[in-house]
Amino acid sequence: MLEFPSFIRGPVEAGFSRQETPRFDTSQPASGAYFSEIVSDDAPMYFSVNFVLTREEALYFRAWLRRNNFEILTGAQFEIELSTEEGITTQIASFTPSGIPQLSSESGRIVNYTGEILVQKFNEPSAQFDDLILGIGASGGSYQLQYLINEDLS
């Protein structure tokens, strides 16, 4: 596993989107109604990310990409902090073949790179508390929910 440098800022939250791969498949038989069947319960997720870096950070970032070029091109994984509904979570990710970071813009001392990250097994710390979270939501308890997410899951 590659080590993503801790001194390089991770992707920014504003330029960020996530796409979840469908976990089911729908079949249309020759006769009768169509039906769906579960394919997987751990489908990968794709994150479109933007790295907004100073020129110095961009120099480090490019050096890391060049140094690990072969590993990155062959799907090597690395730990990276990504923004989720629960805040910042550590994910084990790799760049997609078409999503290796590319320079997208420069403005003064700021350099932007865009890329796409694949997360095979999405880490959601609150997933084990889904029933509790829904119960708190039904009772209108946003304070309790904030406490659960910020205190108990950290």
Structural domain spans, the chain: 17-123, 126-154
Percent composition of the chain: helix, strand, coil (DSSP 3-state, to 5): 30, 35, 35
Window from 89-93, 114-118, 146-150 with minimum mean pLDDT: 146-150
Distance (Å, rounded) from C-alpha 36 to C-alpha 112? 41
pLDDT of residue 15: 60
Distance (Å, rounded) from C-alpha 38 to C-alpha 24? 4
> Taking a C-beta distance cutoff of 8 angstroms, is the pair 115, 103 a contact?
no
List pLDDT tens digits, range 49-102: 999 999 999 999 999 999 999 999 999 999 999 888 777 889 999 999 999 999
**25 — pLDDT class (breaks 50, 70, 90):** low
Rg, C-alpha atoms of the chain: 19
Inform me whether the pLDDT recorded for 152 exceeds 80: no
When mean pLDDT is compared over 3-12, 93-102, 136-145, the highest value belongs to 93-102
Q: Which residue has the higher pLDDT, 103 or 123?
A: 103
Residue closest to 18 by CA, chosen among 76, 82, 105, 77? 82
